[in-house]
Amino acid sequence: MIRFLFRLAAMVALSVSVIMAVLDATRTVAASAVVLTPLNASWLAVSPDTRNAFETFVRAKAGPLAWDGVIAWVLAQPGFAVFAALAFLLYLVGYRRQPRNQFAPT
């Protein structure tokens, strides 16, 4: 059941990644130049209140070094790449290995 939830979350993250990639591709064609929207800009456009609440939470619980060092770097990356990496990691966690045959086929 838990593996299913991780695979479902991976599928949702991959869907968001594809949507963000299509938006960036559309903007790239319209501008005739490569346009990669950072995750921070996308998040602020969708819900600035949750973005500010997340920053306040991280700064209070983990300290400003965690925000300035790690989280700000992740938010500066293109949104489709962040969600694609998240989808890959979630899929790895939810992946079920096929059992290997211990005997040679006859």
Average pLDDT over residues 6-32: 95
Please say if the pLDDT value at position 104 is more than 70.
no
> What confidence tens digit (pLDDT) does each residue in 31-63 have?
999 999 999 999 999 999 999 999 999 999 988
Q: Over the range 68-85, which residues count as b (16 or more CB within 10 Å of their CB) and which as e?
A: eeebeeebeebbbbbbbe
Count Cα neighbours of 6 within 13 Å in the Cβ-side half-sphere.
13
> What confidence tens digit (pLDDT) does each residue in 76-86 have?
999 999 999 99
Q: What's the distance, CA 68 to chain centroid?
A: 19
Please say if the pLDDT value at position 106 is more than 90.
no
Please say if the pLDDT value at position 92 is more than 90.
yes
pLDDT (0 to 100) of residue 57: 93
**pTM for this prediction:** 0.83
